[in-house]
Amino acid sequence: MNIVIAGAGKVGFTIAERLCREGHDITLIDEKRASLDNAANSMDVMGVCGSCAAPSVLKEAEAGEADVFIAATGNDEANLVACQFARKMGAKHTIARLRNQEYLDSGESLREIMDLNLAINPDYVTAEVISRVLQFPAATQVDSFPDCELEIVTFRIGENSRLDGMKLKELPTKLRQKRGERVLVCCAERGGEFRIPDGNFELHAGDRISVTAPTHALRHFFKEVTVNYKPAKRVILLGGSRIAVHLTQLLQSTGGQVTILDRNYARCQTLSELLRGADIICADGADITVLQQSGLYEADGFVALTNYDEDNIILSMYAEKAGVEKVVSKVNNDKFIALLRDVFPDSTLSPKNIVAERIEGYVRGLAHASDKSTIEALYYLGDKNVTATEFKVGEKAAVIGRTLAEMKLKPGVLLAAVVHGGKVIVPDGGTTLEKGDRAVVVTTDRSILNLDDILAG
């Protein structure tokens, strides 16, 4: 597909990098020549220097010929104008990155007014991800599928865990899982090797596994395998960013108590007006004494949201050593994220990667849509080694009417969940797929781009 991306900053660069790996033709627009040169030295892209809100620049980038036009600059208004111009010029699909949530919460749908196919607020979606992670103290990653109560939770099996030495086929009986509380282990990482396990796979302490089920079943599962399981309710946020505002509102909506530390007095005044009920402390959260006096030892959640990766990492490690049950750190440098996977047991996440993953899933869905299936959502498990893809079953899918026992799946492929009539089903041998159902496929095979691709032969 021909894709034009406005903005070669952290978000735009990451989106371009992911879509280049998918084999798309990418053109980048940015006002900074150095940003375009950096992108051109890292991947196979074309570059156009100038403002994405200028019709002449869009014309030079051939935005009107784009299958997808993505506006990912740091300026909401420029992104909206660029998308509108690109659409008028003939772009088939437009996507805008918008940080002002008021644009997305307006009474009349902005997407309809501006004819946008997708609008995404990186701060809000990041806050959503963090709020879900805080609900599962053991989790390092939580992915939620749209319009249904289905989640995939990734965590590391601890020493002396009930799961250590247990075979997967033994889980339902040993964990006393009722029929509606069955949990499926869909991915396991051991010693850097990722696999789709079968029933004979034996879990060991140190394994990083991903489990999927309806949310209520996952809560029951973690109560059975986690000591003193409880969602984080008393949470300290380091940094009063936009993410912190959205996260506080989400946590307060479920009864959470939030304390925000920020050293900027004017920002603290703004936060006090926006967030009634939250404790706003104007102080340097990098000061250990300040952290201690803010209630760190009584907190069961700590989230580091400053603009400095090193501060976030170090203070998160301190919070973990102080006994905080759940620690989350915002980290933008991918090298740090890869390094921390094995040395820091809690969650690290990157807003740019969250946004890029959502957009990659949308573009992949466009590129491979057919009367057999369409892609509704895409997530990566295990550092891009494993994908969890939600397919909508089309009318001509070869899987229709066949039981799972009758299907011969390719190696490294697992049908992890089926959504039928709004109900989430953890499949067994007798499960069938029908037109309109949604099927979640977890695989190590990057060639699975259509639902029928899961079938051997």
Q: What is the pLDDT of residues 56-102, one digit of tens each?
A: 999 999 999 999 999 999 999 999 999 999 999 999 999 999 998 88
SS3 for 364?
helix
Neighbouring residues of 126: CB distance < 8 A, sequence distance ≥ 6: 243, 246, 330, 349, 351, 354
Mean per-residue pLDDT for 147-173?
Answer: 89
Q: Residue 333 has what pLDDT?
A: 87
Reported confidence tier of residue 25, pLDDT bands at 50, 70, 90: very high
Tell me whether domains 2-120 and 234-349 share a fold: yes
- The verdict on pTM exceeding 0.75 is yes
Asked if the model's pLDDT at residue 262 lies above 90, the reply is yes
SS3 for 166?
coil
* CATH homologous superfamily of 234-349: NAD(P)-binding Rossmann-like Domain (3.40.50.720)
Domain ranges within the chain, ordered by starting residue:
2-120, 234-349
- Please, what is the average pLDDT of the chain? 91
Alpha-carbon distance of 68 to 3, in angstroms, equals: 5
Strand residues in 138-227 grouped as ranges (E): 139-144, 150-156, 184-190, 193-195, 208-214
DSSP secondary structure, 119-149, as one string: EE-HHHHHHHHHHHHTTSTTEEEEEE-TTSS
Q: Residue 286 has what pLDDT?
A: 87
Mean per-residue pLDDT for 299-316?
Answer: 94
State whether CATH 3.30.420.130 applies to domain 2-120: no
Q: Residue 216 has what pLDDT?
A: 87
Reported confidence tier of residue 371, pLDDT bands at 50, 70, 90: very high
Reported confidence tier of residue 346, pLDDT bands at 50, 70, 90: low
Give per-residue pLDDT as tens, 97-155.
999 888 877 656 677 778 899 999 999 999 999 999 998 888 888 999 887 889 999 99
Q: Residue 102 has what pLDDT?
A: 81
Give per-residue pLDDT as tens, 278-302.
999 999 998 989 999 999 999 999 9
Q: Which of 396, 400, 413 is nearest to 454 (CA)?
A: 413
Q: Residue 26 has what pLDDT?
A: 97
